[in-house]
């Protein structure tokens, strides 16, 4: 969960396809729901990294709360300032634009306390199943963010 409605995202030496996908997902989370701004290495809520994290890691992307992050509260209201989104580039090499956007939307959603959606009718990027997962946040997703903040 983020610490407040201002969500600073630092694209830490990321490649342009990831930059573009994250920026696109940030724009889908409009300012009436969550205000996102670009950050820098001194003040960020989420650090985005991409690279080769190894073939033994089967995940394409994941969000974590690293040991160096500032943590407060407890589940389900645990706040992690300094979250990290990882994109495993070898697994994304064949991803289309829509698939990169979906992954970025999904992982950015986790940074604002959105959980997986298991409703097979949903077109949310938060669907747990990547097959036919959407590339945007639904009205339900945005309502949940509004509830949290």
* Domain of residue 90, residue span: 6-148
pTM attached to this predicted model: 0.88
Tell me, yes or no, whether 30 lies in a domain: yes
Tell me, yes or no, whether 26 lies in a domain: yes
- Read off the pLDDT of residues 14-31 as tens digits, 9 standing for 90 and up: 988 999 999 899 888 865
* Number of domains within the chain: 1
Quote the CA–CA distance of 26 and 105 in Å, as a whole number: 8
**Taking a C-beta distance cutoff of 8 angstroms, is the pair 142, 33 a contact?**
yes
Tell me, yes or no, whether 1 lies in a domain: no
Tell me, yes or no, whether 122 lies in a domain: yes
What CATH number is associated with residue 83?
3.40.390.10
Residue 33 predicted with pLDDT over 80 = no
Quote the CA–CA distance of 108 and 105 in Å, as a whole number: 5
Tell me, yes or no, whether 63 lies in a domain: yes
**What is the pLDDT, as a whole number, of residue 94?**
87
Q: Under 8 Å CB-to-CB from 145, ≥6 apart: which residues? A: 29, 33, 34, 112, 113, 114, 137
Band of residue 126 on the pLDDT scale cut at 50, 70, 90: very high
**What is the pLDDT, as a whole number, of residue 96?**
92
Q: How far is CA 105 from the centre of its chain?
A: 6
Tell me, yes or no, whether 91 lies in a domain: yes
Q: Under 8 Å CB-to-CB from 36, ≥6 apart: which residues? A: 6, 7, 8, 9, 26, 29
- Read off the pLDDT of residues 36-94 as tens digits, 9 standing for 90 and up: 666 666 678 889 999 999 878 888 999 999 998 989 888 777 888 889 999 999 988 88
């Amino acid at each position: 969960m983020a610490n407040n409605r201002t969500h600073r995202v630092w694209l830490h030496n990321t490649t342009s396809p990831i930059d573009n996908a994250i920026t696109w997902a940030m724009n889908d989370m409009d300012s009436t729901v969550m205000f996102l701004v670009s950050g820098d290495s001194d003040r960020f809520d989420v650090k985005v990294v991409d690279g080769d994290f190894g073939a033994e890691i089967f995940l394409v992307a994941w969000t974590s709360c690293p040991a160096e992050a500032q943590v407060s509260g407890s589940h389900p209201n645990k706040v992690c300032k300094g979250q990290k989104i990882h994109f495993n580039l070898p697994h994304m090499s064949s991803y289309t634009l829509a698939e990169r956007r979906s992954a970025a939307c999904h992982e950015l959603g986790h940074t604002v306390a959105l959980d997986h959606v298991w409703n097979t009718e949903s077109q949310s990027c938060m669907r747990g199943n990547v097959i036919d997962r959407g590339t945007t946040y639904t009205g339900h997703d945005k309502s949940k963010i509004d509830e949290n903040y």
